[in-house]
Amino acid sequence: MTAFWAERAWLGDAVVSGVRITASAAGLISDIETGTTANGADERLAGVVLPGAINAHSHAFHRLLRGRTHGDGGSFWTWRELMYRESARLDPASYERIATAVYAEMVAAGWTSVAEFHYVHHAPDTRPYDPPHAMERALARAAQAAGIRLTLVDTCYLSSGFGSPLEPAQRRFGDGDAGAWLARLSSLRSQFAEEHPEVVVGAAVHSVRAVPVDALERIGAELDPGVPLHVHLSEQPGENEACLAATGLTPTALLARSGLVSPRLSAVHATHLTDDDIAVLGAAAATIVICPTTEADLGDGVGPARRLSDAGARIALGTDQHAVVDPLLEARALEHGERLASGRRGRFAPAELVAALSRGGADAVGRRIGALAVGQPCDLIVVAADSARTAGSEPVQIVLSATAQDVDRVIIGGRGRAAGGVHSDLGPLGDLWRKAVLA
């Protein structure tokens, strides 16, 4: 067992002083004591200890686009063409290098779990890899090397738009039809149960424009109800307009009619919703994954996160394209987006921001994690309270002043994985990225 003594730690919805957290040999929290003083056997954690952050939406290879898509302005749709170009270059070896680097970057920043929304399934010539699931295995190895908890969200991607086949750049993403995707998902889950039991395998329909109506209905009828389900939802007004023209329904209403809106659903972005959409998602207690820095980077708009939360939905956070890999900045951007849209401060209280960073994403990754509580994994991030950014901050408000630069230590499963922005096993992040992109 290992005992960590925290000057202050976030327990429930409050910051508590003098907290001893004991981790079992299995990496679970076996005991929590409050109001204690440190003893010689404790590993001391200065600052404020938060639960490990859950990154509920990631596309690992999108990290390659950072700092390379801004020269000519453009839109989400022009950015997407550059993304397709990068996806065409991927093979299992390069994907593993890139994912290892981005997962290590996440860990050093304080993300301890990630949901990887994965759709680059097949070889560039569209043939399945032999042996099968080579790209998925690459992601599993990358997560294992970085020490992050991985939920592999395998994605159904069948069309380029309503009534349109896949474009050439998209063909390696597709499986032909819903039946073939369901069969491949079943094979993947069986194989990972044997080879990578530490990985949770979830599912996704990429978006309503990328999965035909009959396929949505079949997936709604046949997908194992215990599997976490994700979808890009109403990210762009154009998607809503096309869905209404093709079906007479909004994307949310179409998903609901197909049996896909339930507590297991994680709707990513959910930026452009009607009042009825918000009511449907809230009544279902769906998870809404807001990706504030990506939505700002792409000019997507500010979604109705406060209204969704008030309606009953759970709010989680993701880094999506990794323009920024910083859980504290994502949390702050969630609140800042609400302030800009409403003209009011304090739309999300600090406790709600910490919840969005942690337990809000638990269902999205299909794990019982996200809180400092007995029986949960000992996943901790230690935020310095005396840096140039945080000195003088009230501990309960440190989520509004700190950045990933203030994350002194990251502990996953009771084991130190990063300190001072350096990964404990993989070393400095700059070196790791240079190797990943230049190899």
Tell me which residues are annotated as active site: 269, 320
Q: What does the angle CA 61 – CA 356 – CA 335 come to, to the nearest 5 degrees?
A: 95
- Which residue in 214, 199, 209 sits closest to 118, CA to CA? 199
Question: Would you say 90 and 437 are in contact if contact means Cβ atoms under 8 Å apart?
Answer: no
Q: Identify whether 131 is preceded by a cis peptide bond (ω within 30 of 0).
A: yes
The identity of residue 278, as a single letter, is I
Q: Which residue has the tokens 């007479």?
A: 248
Q: What is the DSSP string of 400-420?
A: GT--GGGEEEEEETTEEEEET
SS3 state at 312: coil
- CA gap 155, 59 in Å, rounded: 11
Q: Which residue has the tokens 């949310």?
A: 252
- CA gap 51, 23 in Å, rounded: 14
Number of neighbouring beta carbons within 10 Å of residue 197: 8
Cβ neighbours of residue 420 closer than 8 Å, sequence gap 6 or more: 408
- Which residue in 235, 280, 236, 225 sits closest to 255, CA to CA? 280
Helix (H) or strand (E) holding 280: helix 275-283
Q: Which residues pair with 229 in a beta bridge?
A: 203, 265
User: Would you put residue 22 in left (φ > 0), alpha (ψ -120 to 50) or beta?
Assistant: beta
